[in-house]
Amino acid sequence: MKTLILIALILCAACSAMEAESGEAKKQITFMGMAEPPAGGLTLWYRQPAEDWLEALPLGNGRLAAMVFGGVQTEHIQLNEEGIWSGGPCDSNNPEALQYLPEVRRLLFEGKNTEAEVLAKKHLLGKLAGVRPYQSLGDLTLDFGQVDEVANYRRELDLDSGVARVTYSQGGATFTREAFISAPDNVLVLHVTCDKSDRINAVISISREQFASSKTSGQCFLLMTGQTDGETGVKFRVNVAVKSPGGNADTTDDKLIVKNADSLTLLLTAATDYRGGDAVDTARRMLVDVVGKSYDALLKAHLKEHRKLFRRVRLDLGGPEKSKLPTDERIMALAKGEEDPALAALYFQFGRYLLMASSRPGCLPANLQGKWVDQMKPPWNADYHTNINVQMNYWPAEVCNLAECAEPLIELTDSLREPGRKTAQVHYGCKGWVAHHLTDAWGFTAPADGVWGIWPMGGAWLCQHVWEHYAFSGDRKYLKDRAYPIMKESAQFLLDFLVEDNKGRLVTNPSHSPENSFRLPDGGTAVLCVGATMDFMVIHDLFTNCIQASEILNIDNEFREQLQATLSKLAPLQVGKNGQLQEWLIDYDESEPGHRHVSHLFGVYPGRQITERETPRFYKAARTSLERRVKSRKIDTGWSLAWSASLWARFGEGDLAHQNITKLLGRHSAANMFDLIFEGRQPFQIDANFGATAAIAEMLLQSHEDELNFLPALPKAWPSGSVSGLRARGNYEVDLAWKAGRLSTAKIRVKISGPVQVHCHGVVLRSKNNAVELKQIYDGVWEFAAEAGKEYTFIASSSPAN
Ligand code: FUC
């Protein structure tokens, strides 16, 4: 505690008058003047404080998160910590499920879907209806006192530095507030300065809607202690320290009061006992570690760490420079049809920023709202939905050069093995591990919610990310020690779960295509079936990845043969009566043809089973399926638009992908660029932010077909531009530049030696200075021998003579 004594704090009388007067709501402030736009194009910025949570700006280090409102009289910072989950570990497995499974299967095989669903609803669901919510940690408030008029107000989030800033002038002085959450120092830092001395006054408090109490300790500490469910649940502690050089300090029972200071630095640490240990001790230790550090030292360490990740990728989509306009105005202009490619580039980088801020090694993964939740019972509990949403969160991780940010998802997947083994046994009598359509921080793996929750494919889909982490890195040690055991055990479940139908094909039963329903011959609708196409695609993905892994590692011959034999007996993909890729084994009609999920297109994206070159008939049918969906879609969700954007990119349709990105950004974005699941309507759901970021990358670079495909879906709206630092499978880093809609140069940084194939249409490729021999192997595809550690530059021209 020695360092704490170093804090310069001077006692003064309590300033209760200021306290009573403060509060943004009490007085309308007049905003005068026009602040200069911030420098650089990587900033979200506004001319007014956030009135609403969806205008506030997000900060985070994966564990701690905050939304900064930037008010003039009151700064409100809403807080989150990853461990603030209601509930705790619980066993939702239903011991009677197994005994009813054969009967449900029989009914489904006999086409008695309705009877099967009645029985399944009664007996196959887990004991608990669902999961418990992730919640807000609380609210930090700084009341600065009454203000009538301010000039040149500006509020911003600089993505390149991860710093939120507020500046304005008032009473002849200029005030600046900077806030960031440091990953290296595990602390939220707020720094208030003024260009005149003695001008900073603040009443600082911290509170939570439920189950918490706050108190001051000495002259400079504020503490909040609580437990998520009152007497039970996760225990938490928030510690705040305030340094206010040149000022006077006082306290009430639960408020710190700073008067006439030259500057103010607030440090906030938060801890829970979610990972064990004592929350009070942990939060205190975290504070002791940072309290002696200067603001500049904390900022320097934060910038170094932040930029190490953030600056790996740069994107320029060209277009008129509109960053002189505030971000909310640009979003509105886009919604009205104005082109703004630079805003799409900002949106892309915002997605990368959000992933860095919500998913760092050692933390829980980004949930339905990343880590930003201001409620006690958020929509869908801000849980982990494993039938699209959490996977979409991680689509950008590898390609956008933030591989370490994918680790929390891999860790979560690994952690589901133990509870998932039990669920596999109790519900299905199967070996291996299983997860259904949702999970939480407590290892929830049982089926829940309703019959659509009887979907035992969640774990297998998560395994795709476990594999992709290898596919992008080529790290054999990771494959052997970590990835393969997780994948193998998931495959073991599916080997056991598959059953033979009366045609001798292996099928899934019970099965469901998330979260769609279909028409039965009697006119009714059902959700449960035999053999949803997505199941076969997820199985194909997992089994082929396991086969490849066992070959690379040269292990498990027998298991590999078993997987190969099972794949050859799996029910086939089929083209249906409308030329579409069938969503189910039987060519049912969808009851909602424009349904938001496109599960049966998994094999196009994020999978790689269906490609133009390998499976042209299914590729065409899959495209027809997407066209039919889009045509009849009445309500679009943000994440459906994002998924469709990546699908269009895989179909080589840059303009259609771009349309989706534009709709997401213009019509589904809140002022702070958070995705609104419905057009112009809450709630916020972060999956589409991540899905759109991944889709933009997918438009520029693809690598799922053992080649680097440059600019496979470049839209007309981005005729000139450049990108650097995208990653491709095989551990390559790629920089591309294009002009007039055509590739001009490409650079590939190689980490693993071997032959590399590059694919680019409409140009002729040559190696700069003939540094390497390029062999054309088909139209638009070249190959060269690459050496680890080297960078290769290629020049593209529209004709050989150029
Ligand atoms: C899936 C979707 C819903 C929503 C929910 C969180 O179930 O079908 O639209 O996104 O997840």
Residue 210 CA to ligand 1 centre (angstroms): 27
Whole-angstrom CA distances from 47 to 326, 349, 656, 698 are 7, 22, 33, 34
Q: State which ligand 1 atom lies nearest to the alpha carbon of 597.
A: 8
Task: Look up tokens 């720094």; give the residue.
Answer: 191
Q: Is the CB of 508 under 6 A from ligand 1?
A: no
SS3 33: coil
Share of the chain above pLDDT 70, in %: 96
Write the residue with the smallest CA distance to atom 9 of ligand 1.
637
Task: Write out the E strands in 23-63.
Answer: 30-32, 43-46, 57-60
The rounded distance, in Å, linking the Cα atoms of 66 and 82 is 11
Instruction: Provide the pairing of β-strand 30-32 with 43-46.
Output: unpaired
Mean pLDDT, residues 397-404 taken together: 99
Whole-angstrom CA distances from 711 to 481, 685, 736, 746 are 35, 29, 8, 10
CA angle 686, 691, 694 (to 5 degrees): 135
Residue 341 CA to ligand 1 centre (angstroms): 29
Residue 31 CA to ligand 1 centre (angstroms): 41
* Phi/psi of residue 514, nearest 5 degrees: -50, 140
Residue 246 CA to ligand 1 centre (angstroms): 52
Q: Is the CB of 385 under 6 A from ligand 1?
A: yes
Mean pLDDT, residues 465-471 taken together: 98
Assess contact for 107 and 115: CB atoms under 8 A.
yes
- Counting runs of H as helices and runs of E as strands, what totals does the chain give? 21, 36
Residue 144 CA to ligand 1 centre (angstroms): 41
pLDDT band at residue 798 using 50, 70 and 90 as cut-offs: confident
CB atoms within 10 A of CB 335: 17
Is pLDDT of 524 > 90?
Answer: yes
HSE at residue 435, side-chain half, CA atoms within 13 A, is 29
Closest C-alpha to 75, from 199, 203, 247: 203
The rounded distance, in Å, linking the Cα atoms of 293 and 285 is 14
Where is 98: in which H helix or E strand? helix 97-109
Say what the pLDDT of residue 800 is.
56
Q: How big is the chain, counted in residues?
A: 802
pLDDT band at residue 630 using 50, 70 and 90 as cut-offs: very high
Mean pLDDT, residues 476-482 taken together: 98
Is pLDDT of 379 > 90?
Answer: yes
Q: Following CA atoms 240, 246, 251, 254 in sequence, which dihedral angle do they give, to the nearest 10 degrees? A: -30
Task: Name residue 512's amino acid.
Answer: H
Residue 427 CA to ligand 1 centre (angstroms): 24
Residue 373 CA to ligand 1 centre (angstroms): 17
Say what the pLDDT of residue 3 is.
35
Q: Is the CB of 643 under 6 A from ligand 1?
A: no
Q: State which ligand 1 atom lies nearest to the alpha carbon of 515.
A: 8
Mean pLDDT, residues 421-432 taken together: 98
Residue 385 CA to ligand 1 centre (angstroms): 7
Say what the pLDDT of residue 40 is.
82
Residue 608 CA to ligand 1 centre (angstroms): 24
Q: Is the CB of 389 under 6 A from ligand 1?
A: yes
Bridge partner list, 784? 756
Q: Is the CB of 637 under 6 A from ligand 1?
A: yes
Write the residue with the smallest CA distance to atom 6 of ligand 1.
380
Say what the pLDDT of residue 4 is.
35
Residue 568 CA to ligand 1 centre (angstroms): 33
Residue 531 CA to ligand 1 centre (angstroms): 22
SS3 422: helix
Say what the pLDDT of residue 801 is.
44
Q: Is the CB of 629 under 6 A from ligand 1?
A: no
Residue 665 CA to ligand 1 centre (angstroms): 19
Q: First-to-last CA distance in the chain?
A: 70
What is the token pair recorded at 531? Answer: 């053999």
Q: Following CA atoms 738, 741, 742, 748 in sequence, which dihedral angle do they give, to the nearest 10 degrees? A: 40
Ligand 1 test: best mutation among 596, 598, 643, 689, most atoms within 8 Å of CB? 596
DSSP secondary structure of 576-632: -TTSSBPSBSS-PPBSSTT-S--GGGTTTTT--S--TTT-HHHHHHHHHHHHHHHHT
Residue 514 CA to ligand 1 centre (angstroms): 9
What is the token pair recorded at 478? Answer: 């990771």
DSSP label of 22: -
Say what the pLDDT of residue 321 is.
75
The rounded distance, in Å, linking the Cα atoms of 530 and 409 is 30
Q: Name 56's Cβ contacts closer than 8 Å, sequence gap at least 6.
A: 50, 67, 68, 69, 70, 76, 78, 672
Residue 383 CA to ligand 1 centre (angstroms): 11
Say what the pLDDT of residue 5 is.
31
HSE at residue 394, side-chain half, CA atoms within 13 A, is 32
DSSP label of 80: E
Ligand 1 test: best mutation among 385, 516, 684, most atoms within 8 Å of CB? 385
DSSP secondary structure of 308-362: HHHTT-EEE--S---TTS-HHHHHHHHHTT---HHHHHHHHHHHHHHHHHH--TT
At how many degrees (to 10) do helices 638-650 and 616-631 cross?
A: 150
Q: Is the CB of 384 under 6 A from ligand 1?
A: no
Residue 569 CA to ligand 1 centre (angstroms): 32
Residue 323 CA to ligand 1 centre (angstroms): 34
Say what the pLDDT of residue 459 is.
98
Q: Is the CB of 749 under 6 A from ligand 1?
A: no
Q: Is the CB of 368 under 6 A from ligand 1?
A: yes
Q: Average pLDDT of the chain?
A: 95
Span 136-152, pLDDT tens digits: 999 999 999 999 999 99
Span 730-743, pLDDT tens digits: 999 999 999 999 99
Ligand 1 test: best mutation among 386, 438, 678, 685, most atoms within 8 Å of CB? 685
Assess contact for 57 and 672: CB atoms under 8 A.
yes
Q: State which ligand 1 atom lies nearest to the alpha carbon of 379.
A: 6
Q: State which ligand 1 atom lies nearest to the alpha carbon of 685.
A: 10
SS3 393: helix
Assess contact for 10 and 249: CB atoms under 8 A.
yes
At how many degrees (to 10) do helices 417-428 and 484-497 cross?
A: 10
The rounded distance, in Å, linking the Cα atoms of 194 and 174 is 6
Task: Write out the E strands in 47-197.
Answer: 57-60, 64-68, 74-81, 138-143, 149-158, 163-170, 173-182, 187-194
HSE at residue 116, side-chain half, CA atoms within 13 A, is 26
Q: Is the CB of 380 under 6 A from ligand 1?
A: yes
Ligand 1 test: best mutation among 639, 641, 676, most atoms within 8 Å of CB? 639
CA angle 664, 667, 671 (to 5 degrees): 95
Instruction: Provide the pairing of β-strand 30-32 with 149-158.
Output: parallel
Write the residue with the smallest CA distance to atom 8 of ligand 1.
515
Q: Is the CB of 269 under 6 A from ligand 1?
A: no
Q: State which ligand 1 atom lies nearest to the alpha carbon of 389.
A: 11
Q: State which ligand 1 atom lies nearest to the alpha carbon of 640.
A: 9
Residue 130 CA to ligand 1 centre (angstroms): 14
Q: Is the CB of 75 under 6 A from ligand 1?
A: no
Is pLDDT of 26 > 70?
Answer: no
The rounded distance, in Å, linking the Cα atoms of 17 and 371 is 37
